[in-house]
Structure formats: structure tokens, C-alpha cells
Amino acid sequence: MAATVLTGLLVSGCADTINPVLGRLSLGRDAGPLKPPVRVDQGRFAYPEEAWEDRVGGTVWLRLHITAVGRVDSVTVLESSGNATLDSAARADGLSLRFAPAESGGEPVAVWAHLEVIYPLPQEVIVDEP
């Protein structure tokens, strides 16, 4: 009985089926009393193929500017994962997020927020072959 090692987090093991995990959105301490924005669209976050093949994972903290209409118009890397490929992908994909905008006094307002993007490390799964 031979054992084959497959790379993947899901049964299919394909990089295009493994998505980063988006953490909780947080506002700065100086945000004041307001209703925070709510993510309404996950966006197009994908695990970069190069990072997947190199078996690289990590966490990127993004700083997003969410407009009064719920679009992200600016993204910067607040804290790097230590891997330029993951940082670049998170930054680019952050622009695809959509939100119900923050509100202050019942009116939509633009805010700066922080978002954690986790790229889970590919795990080895041992599958027995007959």
C-alpha cells in the first residue's frame, strides 16, 4: 500500500478553491460614535498561485478607506505577512470589497478601517493508494 502526499486544505486540493480568510473589520479608536460599515461582498480574494506553489502562507493587515457609498478607494498594507506576493495580492484584492457604508447621525460617511487577511498555510494530507 503506497501513500501519496497531496497539497491542499480542501478535498479537491486545488489552489483556486482555497480562499484567504477575511477577518473582522475594525475602526480606529478615533472613529467616534458611528455605525460601522458592514461587508456586503467578499470581493475577489484569491490565494496567489505562486505563493500556493511555494507553500507560503501568512497574515496581512490592510488599511482601507471605505467611501460614503461603500466602495474601497484606497488600500495600503498596514502590517506585512513577510511575503511580497501575499501582500500585493491582498492589497489588490482589497479594492474589490463592497460595504454598506458607515453612518454618523443617520448619514453615510467615509471611514478608514483595518482588515486582517489570512492566507492559511497549505497542509499536507496523506491519502492511501490501493
pLDDT value of position 34:
83
* Burial tier of 101 (Cβ tally within 10 Å: 0-12, 13-18, 19+): buried
pLDDT value of position 115:
94
d(CA 78, CA 39): 19
pLDDT by residue (tens digit) across 38-96?
Answer: 999 877 888 999 998 888 999 999 999 999 999 999 999 999 999 999 999 999 999 99
Segment 25-36 mean pLDDT: 72
pLDDT at 99 over 80: yes
d(CA 93, CA 21): 12
- Of the chain, the end-to-end C-alpha distance in Å amounts to 6
- Residue 7: pLDDT band with limits 50, 70, 90: very low
pLDDT at 130 over 90: no
d(CA 5, CA 71): 42
pLDDT at 117 over 90: yes
